[in-house]
Amino acid sequence: MSLLSSLTRFLLPAEAPVIDYPFVPSDVALYRRTAHPDANVLDEQTWDDMLLPQYSAQLARETSIFGQQELHRRLYADGGGVAASAVRVRTLAQDAGQRRQLHAACAGLRRADREISVALFGAEPAPAPRWAGLLPWLPPALLLTVALALATGVVALWGVVVGLWLLLSLVQVRYHEAVEEWGRVLATLQQMLRAHSLLAALDDPLTAGLRADAARAGKLNRRIAQSVVGNLPGVREYRDWLWLMNVRHYFASRDAVRAELALLRSSFERVAALEADLALARHLAQTPRYCWAERGGAVALEQVVHPLLAQAEPLTFALAGQGAFISGQNGIGKSTLLRTVGLNLILARAFGFCYAERAVTPLLPVYSSMQSEDALDGGESLYIAELRRARELLALAERAPAVFIIDEIFRGTNHLESISAAAAVLHTLSQQGTVIVSSHNLVLAPLLEDRLAPWCVSRVGDGLRVAPGVLQETNGISLLAARGFDHAISAKAGRVFDWLSAQAHSPVSRSDGFFD
């Protein structure tokens, strides 16, 4: 090792430790929104309804912003590339040694503290202004003017000195923030290019696609790097404020990025894809229950669970040619069932696997309506919010076939209008897509039986079962006593319930022609 290298290692700060920088969700979403704005089949409400923020956080452990952004993109995408990625994930999930080797090569990516997809896939950086070519001449001109002023004693030359110094300071102040921010972007770009080179150097078939341009990636990495000597304590300030090296490097590196934008975009996509595959494989290697989904027109999930529930009860759920109307007692787990089915259908489309013993799933988008609430800031009541979401779902159904997951539709209005509006919307929606809906309004079951098969969630022994049929014994009133209400209140509620039940008419069947 040379004396200069030893001195540099001694004086320069050690490389930052590997950390998982806490990027906010809006940063993670930027790659999808910038590079793939028209390839999304998921919407924001479904993302929240299906608890995908929490699930994504679970997947993203020990994964950099690159892998996080690619996982996010796949969850929103139409599933067109899932077959190829599934092959890679299968391979990695079965080989712990291969995972460790690739994980070590990607470790530097986790030092990144800036999101760079906008810099790469957004508007191209503007070329350096023409006057930037004069920057190298300003410092020598200043020093030469100072020397002449000292040697000749001409007072006027000191005015020129002051003018040149003010010009240098003005340039520095004008570009200081941009230079600092660009420096962080460059640091992330360098980590990406370094990972590109490290991965390409591995004797691994999964990194073969990175080898063709690994030399160019390494060369570009060196080209955009700051001088090692220039980072020595005390030297950097002198170089920047007198010689404008930071501003000159800013313009030069931006031009280098512009010239190699295609390479950088390709490197980003391949490195991010590989790290996302690695995250999925690492997750599956620690998952006791999962299977690779089979493609089909129906929905069949055997012993399926929700991955966010530590002690999830497995359920078997299947649909063939119809949607489903799901009923069940309060607290039995209907909403959990909907989220379990919806999330697993999304994961089958995005990643190719489900948390089940066997899964047959259609390659369809999933949209949901489960968390409509009053919006105080927007002046939107619960019912108005529900109507807005119902219109969105109907519009989505007109575009292409999809699966619609709906929980307790139209809670925000009175009982009769709720049933009437729900029946009309659900019947129309089910003519254009597959509807899976849960509701306590059991009268909807016979009204929609020609489109939605009735299924009832019940507890059998220590587990849950989903079987054909409609809930026969409700528990809303019995829960009053169980939750500490006075017996008199429970008795009054029971008498009102009996009176209302006596007043209710038998529901009409489909043959009465309401939906013709």
Q: What is the DSSP string of 315-340?
A: EEEEESSSEEEEEE-TTSSHHHHHHH
Beta bridge partners of 453: 324
Give the model's confidence band at 406: pLDDT under 50 very low, under 70 low, under 90 confident, else very high.
very high
Long-range contacts of 385-388 (CB under 8 A, 24+ apart): 385/412, 386/410, 386/411, 386/412
Average pLDDT score, the chain: 87
> Averaged over 444-466, what is the pLDDT?
86
Q: Tell me: the pLDDT tens digits for 337-371?
A: 999 999 999 999 999 999 999 999 998 999 999 87
Q: Which helix (H) or strand (E) holds 405?
A: strand 403-407
Percent of the chain with pLDDT over 90: 57
Give the model's confidence band at 503: pLDDT under 50 very low, under 70 low, under 90 confident, else very high.
low
Q: Tell me: the pLDDT tens digits for 468-502?
A: 888 777 777 777 777 788 888 878 877 877 776 67
Assess whether pLDDT exceeds 70 at residue 407. Answer: yes
∠ CA 242-246-252, rounded to 5°: 125
- What domains can be seen in the chain, in order of their start residue? 16-285 (no CATH), 291-475 (3.40.50.300)
> Averaged over 248-256, what is the pLDDT?
94
pTM here? 0.88
Assess whether pLDDT exceeds 90 at residue 255. Answer: yes
Radius of gyration of the chain (CA): 31
Q: Is residue 131 within 8 Å of 283, Cβ to Cβ?
A: no
Total residues found in the chain within this entry: 516
Give the model's confidence band at 209: pLDDT under 50 very low, under 70 low, under 90 confident, else very high.
very high
Q: Tell me: the pLDDT tens digits for 4-42?
A: 445 444 444 456 676 777 899 999 999 999 999 888 889
Q: Tell me: the pLDDT tens digits for 104-156?
A: 999 999 999 999 999 999 998 889 999 999 999 998 998 999 999 899 888 88
DSSP, res 1: -
Residue 91 φ then ψ, to 5° = -60, -45
Closest CA to 69 of 78, 84, 82, 56: 56
> Averaged over 168-174, what is the pLDDT?
91
User: Which of 96-100, 202-206, 240-244, 500-504 bottoms out in mean pLDDT, i.e. has the lowest?
Assistant: 500-504
Assess whether pLDDT exceeds 70 at residue 506. Answer: no
Return the pLDDT at 428: 93
Q: Which residues contact 375 (CB under 8 A, 6 or more apart)?
A: 385
Phi-psi region of 192 (alpha: psi -120 to 50; beta: other; left: phi over 0): alpha
∠ CA 64-69-74, rounded to 5°: 130
Token reading at 5: 């290298």
Q: Is residue 234 within 8 Å of 241, Cβ to Cβ?
A: no
DSSP secondary structure, 159-182, as one string: HHHHHHHHHHHHHHHHHHHHHHHH
Q: How far is CA 293 from the centre of its chain?
A: 21
**Token match 């460790």: residue?**
100
C-alpha span between 82 and 481 (Å, rounded):
51
Return the pLDDT at 466: 84
Percent of the chain with pLDDT over 70: 90
Give the model's confidence band at 374: pLDDT under 50 very low, under 70 low, under 90 confident, else very high.
very low
